[in-house]
Chain A
Amino acid sequence: MALQSLDIERRSATTTQPPDQRQALKVAKLIDISKCIGCKACQSACMEWNDLRDMVGTSDGTYDNPRDLTENSWTVMKFFEVEPDGKLEWLIRKDGCMHCADPGCLKACPSPGAIVQYSNGIVDFHEENCIGCGYCVTGCPFNVPRISKKDSKAYKCTLCSDRVAVGLEPACIKTCPTGALVFGSKEDMKEHAAERIADLKERGYQNAGLYDPPGVGGTHVMYVLQHADRPELYALPKDPKISPWVSVWKGAAKPLALAALGLAALVGFFHYIKVGPNEVEEDEKEGK
């Protein structure tokens, strides 16, 4: 959003530093799964604030509704019935963009300014610059961006960058009735998480912990998990990082390939200057 144009830490397909003079406080959303009751108020608030309405879908026999993230549903409650220690637990995870410190979507994006990372940590899509190539989908370690079937642009949670820019908390936070969702500086959120984790451990969740995966530089959406040793129970990747295929493609390959092509043309030119053209000589033309 234009309001934060001075606070851009990274900008897709841009090799120089975007305007980054002001240093904003790093923010984070903390999702305490142990407090979530699965009411989906956050989903409704997200739809309302962002003025999005998803299609009526079909039920697959679970509470997941819609079943997955879509271009209109930027956050979705995912319900997991698991028996991690031999007793049934109902784990409810609010799925959506994790706002990685090292965002794979931004790394993969070929269109300048279609994806930006504000210095407060929020990763935002600017759809007017999106070309619909789907590279962000390829780059994302969390399977979050969705390409719209209507306009072929990519959409995902903005962490309500428009609200945060004017000092408000994201819509989902505002509406959460149990305090499972909290928002503030990343540091404060980590402290709050530590208290919650201590509490959970006291209550028998020995493996309670914070999900702030270092493989993507940490995230600006973090989870308090009852079973932090087994994030797969919540369908979270254990050690998410940008895929090595994407890293090579958008890392070394990019400048090296371009340099090699330029060099090849240059070598050709200087070869011509050195040895000259390969011509048929006059006497060869005469024939033998």
Chain B
Amino acid sequence: MNKTDLIERYEPSDRINHWLVAITFVLLALSGLALFHPAMFFLTSLFGGGPWTRILHPFIGLVMFVAFAGLALRFWRHNILDKNDEQWLKQWQDVINNREDKLPEAGRYNAGQKLLFWVMVLCLVVLLATGIVIWQPYFAPKFNITAVRIAVLLHALAAFALMLGIIVHIYAAIWVKGSVRAMTRGYVTRAWARKHHAAWYKQTTSGSGPK
């Protein structure tokens, strides 16, 4: 494919940052699920056993929070919801049935992506705050027992919401062909940009490249 047919969507530092979050997320999801449900306890083997899973999980969590904060600072401006997004969300049936041409033009991110972004921001904040409250042996003993009990439930709920969100995120990347390459290679095709993010396409290519 001709290089002029490609548009840069993510620069190398964006990609590295994203995959740092992705890797830590996978580690946290596996170790977290291991401690959440007995059926998943076998996953502790991946981390060197139960005690190691307990020891590592919160430290990996800190890395994820810092990495995610970087991602959030990079992208929050593109994720502010507007009137168009409201319409987009109302037409969710067109979204899931591949009738993209009927939807309002999306900017750099569509309403679904924006919504997911803010859900993740909220989840990460809750996970960090509650995670510190239940962190053994360093912080948990310093907190009131009721606070620990509430934190442990909120931590599980926020993790659940985040995992559900990431399932949607990963599926959308598989479903919308060409998206994975944006995050692995950094580039999308002009046609991809026109189809999925028309407003962004117009903005980035205004006055340059073939019409």
A residues lining the B interface (CB < 8 Å) = 13-15, 110-112, 129, 131-135, 137-138, 143, 147, 149, 152, 243, 245-246, 248-249, 253-255, 257-258, 260-261, 264-265, 268, 271-272, 275-280, 284-288
Contact = CB atoms under 8 A, between A and B. Distances in A.
B41 A280 contact: no
Contacts of A260: 160, 164
Contacts of A288: 211
Given A14-B38, A133-B54, A253-B153, A143 B145 contact: yes
Contact of B38 (A15, A265, A272): A15
Given A110-B35, A265-B167, A278-B175, A138 B41 contact: no
Interface string B68-101: 0000000000000000000000000000111010
A132 B149 contact: no
* Interface residues of B, dominant DSSP: helix
A42 B46 CA distance: 44
B136 A152 contact: yes
Interface of B: 33-41, 44, 49-51, 53-55, 96-98, 100, 134, 136-137, 140-141, 145-146, 148-150, 152-153, 156-157, 160, 163-164, 167-168, 171, 174-178, 189-192, 194-196, 210-211
Contacts of B97: 275
B98 A264 contact: no
Contacts of B41: 13, 110-112
Which of B39, B51, B192 is most buried by chain A, counting CB atoms within 10 A of its CB? B51
A107 to B, nearest CB: 12
B168 A264 contact: yes
B137 A278 contact: no
Of the candidates A134, A149, A246, the one having the most CB atoms from chain B within 10 angstroms of its own CB is: A134
Contacts of B146: 243, 245
Contacts of B175: 268, 271-272, 277-278
A15 B39 contact: yes
Nearest to A272: B175
25 contacts: A110-B34, A111-B41, A131-B35, A132-B51, A132-B136, A133-B35, A134-B136, A135-B152, A137-B145, A138-B149, A152-B137, A249-B156, A257-B37, A258-B36, A264-B168, A268-B167, A268-B171, A271-B171, A272-B175, A277-B177, A278-B100, A279-B178, A284-B191, A287-B190, A287-B194
B177 to A, nearest CB: 5
Nearest to A139: B149
B53 A284 contact: no
A279 B177 contact: yes
Contact of A261 (B49, B164, B177, B211): B164
A280 B171 contact: no
A149 B50 contact: no
A276 B176 CA distance: 10
